[in-house]
Amino acid sequence: MNNPLHILVSNDDGIHAPGIAALVEVAMEFGEVTVVAPDSPQSGMGHAISIGKPLRLTKEKLPFDVQAFAASGTPADCVKLATGVLMDKTPDLILSGINHGYNSSVSSIYSGTLSAAREGAIQSVPSVGFSLGNFQHGADMNPSKAVVRAILKEVTTNKLKAGQLLNVNIPYLPEDEIKGIKVVRQAMGRWVEEFDERVDPYGRKYYWLTGNFDLQDEGTDTDVHALTEGYVSVTPMTHDLTALSEIADLSKLDFKL
Amino acid sequence: MNNPLHILVSNDDGIHAPGIAALVEVAMEFGEVTVVAPDSPQSGMGHAISIGKPLRLTKEKLPFDVQAFAASGTPADCVKLATGVLMDKTPDLILSGINHGYNSSVSSIYSGTLSAAREGAIQSVPSVGFSLGNFQHGADMNPSKAVVRAILKEVTTNKLKAGQLLNVNIPYLPEDEIKGIKVVRQAMGRWVEEFDERVDPYGRKYYWLTGNFDLQDEGTDTDVHALTEGYVSVTPMTHDLTALSEIADLSKLDFKL
């Protein structure tokens, strides 16, 4: 390769998670890889950034021939530090994951994995977030590696546009049981909270956030539906949050100052 | 009032910020107010939630006749705790702010203020986030109170739909210089990082995240444009992040597993 792709890899489970090792391994087949990932788990961090708290970068030795740094901040911070401090030139592609657990439907809002990829997209870099439907540390990453390879083969040939963001979710199935890869929309749904209330040794209440996913979408063209059927879901995402369809109606309101 | 509106108020600057006091004061004119806000500043928290960290709620005495609680988590956690633990019935309206600083354009992604309102919208409650174009603790909140009142008058009469989310930004101007209220889309733009690199007393580098906003949008129908012209911007927002317009093209890619 005369002009290898420069690929930045991050995640939200931390630099030593098995998921990022799987992603780095496949990414190295496609270009020169730099890893900047959180020094501790950052699940559920949404698109948080560190304001008013200094950030640190620590060189890490990974079992791959790549430049790797652990950052003290959030996934979005990692991408900002990578492009703002560490890398000489803007990466050609930013990958995040492989997350331990789905980021389908509304989970994409809470996801640290997606926020690293979204931060890449905001910086006009094509970016892909990968998430696997299994929370276990010891989950078999081999079928996911095949999926990542299939996606990267296609998106590094038929290039993504500047700032395009893909949210890829992978069902936890043996490779020969994955039915294919579908481009689908985000399913509407929400997490219904069930707080686990406890009392600490000093008599004070505290709460653990738990919840169940409530699918509010019967579409067959959604990420949740594709995953349930055994397909990999690929959802293009935007960071323009405007609800364009509501503008006309709201403009009829008569706001009087 | 026989059936007063139940209004939940949160923010990201913390329960003792002047902005939330201004918002509570006006909200009380429209219904029964419950306050659940972070016990410490949570700016830039995006849509983070607390996973793996227990949450605490502490009853607070505010200088208003309202139920008030400080929560140890993020703005999104505050809304989850309010609806999941504290409130007997789902609130009719969720308000967040008034944030000390704009949340226009891409800042809506990083904003904790908006995440509290967005969490309300995800729970199908009409929600409004308010932000003022001034970072100072001592900023004059009176013009903003007039804006909040104007918005609430209209949205509590011509009701917002279930789960509708408005992002309201208020220019820091005397009331008689605010030109009006415009419904506009989110301007495209990004923050360009400039990390301030320093060395700690032990010889280790650390970085402060700073940056400048880069507007990448020449539209005259955007929040940034409205604010520059002296208008209040009202932007309807969605939590469906699907880039629908990209689905057709991406579906032509040939992903081979």
d(CA B256, CA A151): 8
> Domain containing A169 — which CATH number?
3.40.1210.10
Contacts of B118 in chain A (CB under 8 A): 109
Tell me the per-residue pLDDT of B155-187, one tens digit each, with 9 for 90 and over: 998 779 999 999 999 999 999 999 999 999 999
Type and span of the H or E element at A132: strand A127-132
Range of the domain at B58: 5-187+219-251
Domain assignment of residue B13, yes or no: yes
pLDDT recorded at residue A254: 87
Domain assignment of residue A246, yes or no: yes
Chain A CA closest to residue B231: A257
A–B interface: beta-carbon pairs under 8 A: 238
Domain assignment of residue B257, yes or no: no
pLDDT recorded at residue A110: 94
Would you write out chain B's pLDDT as a tens digit for each of its 257 residues? 457 899 999 999 999 999 999 999 999 999 999 999 999 988 888 889 998 889 999 999 999 999 999 999 999 999 999 999 999 999 999 999 999 999 999 999 999 999 999 999 999 999 999 999 999 999 999 999 999 999 999 999 877 999 999 999 999 999 999 999 999 999 999 999 889 999 999 999 999 999 899 999 999 999 999 999 999 999 999 999 999 999 999 999 989 88
Interface test with B, best of A214, A241, A244, A245 (most B CBs within 10 A): A241
A41 vs chain B: nearest CA distance in angstroms?
Answer: 10
Interface test with B, best of A207, A220, A231 (most B CBs within 10 A): A207
B116 vs chain A: nearest CA distance in angstroms?
Answer: 12
Structural domains in chain B (count): 1
Is the per-residue pLDDT at A55 higher than 50? yes
Domain assignment of residue B198, yes or no: no
Asked if residue B119 lies in contact with residue B84, where contact means CB atoms within 8 angstroms, the answer is no
* Percent of chain A surpassing pLDDT 90: 90
Chain B CA closest to residue A109: B47
Contacts of B46 in chain A (CB under 8 A): 45-49, 74, 76, 115
Domain assignment of residue A195, yes or no: no
Domain assignment of residue B71, yes or no: yes
Question: CB–CB of B85 and A185 under 8 A?
Answer: no
User: Per 3-state DSSP, what percentage of chain B is helix, strand, and coil (rounded to 5)?
Assistant: 25, 30, 40
The total number of residues shown for chain A amounts to 257
Interface test with B, best of A69, A72, A240 (most B CBs within 10 A): A240
Contacts of B155 in chain A (CB under 8 A): 253
pLDDT recorded at residue B2: 53
Sequence-separated contacts (24+) of A252-257 with Cβ below 8 Å = A253/B154, A253/B155, A253/B158, A253/B183, A254/B154, A255/B150, A255/B151, A255/B154, A255/B180, A255/B181, A255/B232, A255/B234, A256/B150, A256/B153, A256/B154, A257/B146, A257/B147, A257/B150, A257/B175, A257/B178, A257/B180, A257/B181, A257/B232
B58 vs chain A: nearest CA distance in angstroms?
Answer: 9
Residue in A106, A109, A257 closest to B180 by CB: A257
Asked if residue B15 lies in contact with residue B42, where contact means CB atoms within 8 angstroms, the answer is no
pLDDT recorded at residue B43: 87
Domain assignment of residue A210, yes or no: no
Residue in A46, A165, A209 closest to B80 by CB: A209
Type and span of the H or E element at A226: helix A223-228
pLDDT recorded at residue A2: 53
Contacts of A254 in chain B (CB under 8 A): 154
Chain A CA closest to residue B222: A242
Domain assignment of residue B244, yes or no: yes
Question: CB–CB of B243 and A254 under 8 A?
Answer: no
Is the per-residue pLDDT at A1 higher than 80? no
